[in-house]
Chains A and B, each alone.
Chain A
Amino acid sequence: MLRFIILLAIVGGLFYADLRSTPQIQTARQWLAWALQPVTWISSFPHALDNIGDSFKSRDALMKENTALKQRQLVLSVQLLKMQALEAENRRIHALLSSSTTLDYRVLIAEILQTSQDPYRHQILINKGEHDGVYQGQALVDAYGVLGQVIRVHANSAVALLITDPDNGIPVEINRTGLQTVALGRGDGQTLSLPFLPNNADIHVGDLLVTSGLGGRYPAGYPVGRVHELKHPAGDSFMEAIADPTAHLNRSRQVLLVWNPIPIAEQQSALPVDTHTHAAAKRAVDTTNPHQNTTAHGKPSEATSTHARAAKHR
């Protein structure tokens, strides 16, 4: 009985300290997460088995794939040239309008180490952490749309909350009309809910939802989902829209971490406080994805921003 009460008191203390987010408990959590890394690796072994077939591809298949990739690279290079021209034009127009919304997105590719095996928590563990400049609240995207945000950062890994988690809300706008609202995860791992829409709101099935950028956590303009159902409860003043996320949740191995958009003007006079973080992130980008440096103009920062935009437009 006494042993039980002592252990219960320890748990109570830990619980209280964790809810108050004391630095000591965060450090302890980080150490424990580090110590449990072998468990994470072994438990994600079945996932690794999926990729084992790639090791036995024939030479012919690899050559075919190589040819296809080269062709695709050519097409993308042409599109990139066009994009850079458009980007320059966009900057000039924004400068004319004295707008501060010209943004440069810095990204970093991360690999998913594990998806949460708890059916009521939609979270993923990625292989980039504090050492790479990842921070709490950072947005996560894939080639098709927004995936979620980082909620906990460890030294070499981070936990991200997917947009389908019921704890997650993301400010969105209807791409067609500009109507702004919030998309909440429904907890089923597949759909998003847009509650409390006025009954006469101009929204149709098939409408694309993009991030509105409100709140500053998610960069504006990334696809979030597509409306597939509208619910009009009888006698209710509001309607609810259900949307499917555009991002390939639980289907991709790589994700992009997006740094908070920094206006170009601010970036030129970068704050010394941010320099370290962004430098770490920059190094990580350079080492993680060498393709991003090999653009027509050889400008890494433009390459990263273009990559993000390419992801956005794909």
Chain B
Amino acid sequence: MSWVKTRSSVYLISLLFGLLLQFIVLPDALTLARPMWIPLLLVGWTLNAPQLPNLLMALLLGLCMDVMLNCPLGQHALGLLVLVYIVARLRQSLVVYPRWQITVALAPLWAGYALLMAVIDELAHHLATPSLRWWPLLPTTLLWPVIDVWLTSLDHRRPADTE
């Protein structure tokens, strides 16, 4: 199997696995500490493999999340689309920095994503407890280096003659 096919398979499996991790049943106390798996993986792939159809996957996974969470259709899709688009635009500037600086630089983007979800909830008259929204930001930020290390290690296995 060619490198491109292998990477595409890993890409799809990782996103499917992320979807499962996003919804896997956890004890109540741990639910707040659940990282935002889908945004993490999509941003990771956008930074490490921008040629993959990240925007399309953001739309599809966002719609899946909307149905699973019973939100207005398009809420998470919009959030993920905007997040992936911004990261794709900033990619050239971001990748030159060391990993810890990228981790810090991404934190406002996670917050922006959470804020956008809060705004749409507000528009849809869903009165969520505001303090609960910001809890996932910390585990997401802490997990970013792990995801980045994994995706970079995948890239290192690429044969020299491929793009």
The answer to whether A47 and B25 touch (CB under 8 A), given A12-B74, A18-B73, A36-B68, is yes
Q: Per-residue CB proximity of A1-37 to B under 8 Å, as 1/0?
A: 0011001101110110111000001001100110010
The answer to whether A120 and B24 touch (CB under 8 A), given A3-B55, A4-B81, A11-B78, is no
CA distance in complex: A43, B56 (Å): 24
Q: In the complex the two chains form, is A14's CB within 8 Å of B24's CB?
A: no
Chain B nearest Cβ from A250, distance in angstroms? 7
Chain B nearest Cβ from A124, distance in angstroms? 10
Q: In the complex the two chains form, is B73's CB within 8 Å of A15's CB?
A: yes
The answer to whether A152 and B70 touch (CB under 8 A), given A7-B55, A11-B77, A43-B23, is yes
* Interface: A66 (CB within 8 A): no
Q: In the complex the two chains form, is A119's CB within 8 Å of B59's CB?
A: no
Q: In the complex the two chains form, is A120's CB within 8 Å of B128's CB?
A: yes
Chain A residues within 8 Å of B25, by CB: 43-47, 114-115, 117
Number of A-B contacts (CB under 8 A): 112
Chain A nearest Cβ from B38, distance in angstroms? 12
Task: Report which of B23, B78, B128, B133 forms a contact with A117, defined as CB distance below 8 A.
Answer: B23
CA distance in complex: A313, B70 (Å): 33
B88 nearest in chain A by CB position? A4
Chain B residues within 8 Å of A10, by CB: 59
CA distance in complex: A188, B133 (Å): 12
Chain B nearest Cβ from A101, distance in angstroms? 33
Chain A nearest Cβ from B137, distance in angstroms? 13
* Interface: A118 (CB within 8 A): yes
* Interface: B149 (CB within 8 A): no
Q: In the complex the two chains form, is A151's CB within 8 Å of B22's CB?
A: no
Q: In the complex the two chains form, is A39's CB within 8 Å of B20's CB?
A: yes
B65 nearest in chain A by CB position? A118
* Interface: A121 (CB within 8 A): yes
CB contact list, B105-145 vs A, under 8 A: 121, 124-129, 132-133, 135
Task: Report which of A15, A42, A115, A117 forms a contact with B74, defined as CB distance below 8 A.
Answer: A15
B32 nearest in chain A by CB position? A119
Chain B residues within 8 Å of A19, by CB: 72, 124
The answer to whether A187 and B127 touch (CB under 8 A), given A4-B85, A7-B59, A120-B132, is yes
* Interface: A172 (CB within 8 A): no
CA distance in complex: A40, B59 (Å): 20
Chain A nearest Cβ from B35, distance in angstroms? 12
Q: Per-residue CB proximity of B59-80 to A under 8 Å, as 1/0?
A: 1001110011111111101100
Q: In the complex the two chains form, is A120's CB within 8 Å of B133's CB?
A: yes
Chain A residues within 8 Å of B63, by CB: 14, 32
B135 nearest in chain A by CB position? A119
Q: In the complex the two chains form, is B74's CB within 8 Å of A14's CB?
A: yes
* Interface: B91 (CB within 8 A): no
The answer to whether A166 and B55 touch (CB under 8 A), given A117-B31, A121-B69, is no
B26 nearest in chain A by CB position? A117
* Interface: B163 (CB within 8 A): no
User: 8 A-B residue contacts at CB 8 Å?
Assistant: A11-B78, A14-B63, A15-B73, A18-B73, A40-B68, A43-B24, A120-B132, A166-B127
The 7 lowest CB-CB distance pairs between A and B, nearest first, are A15-B74, A120-B128, A18-B73, A187-B129, A166-B127, A43-B23, A14-B74
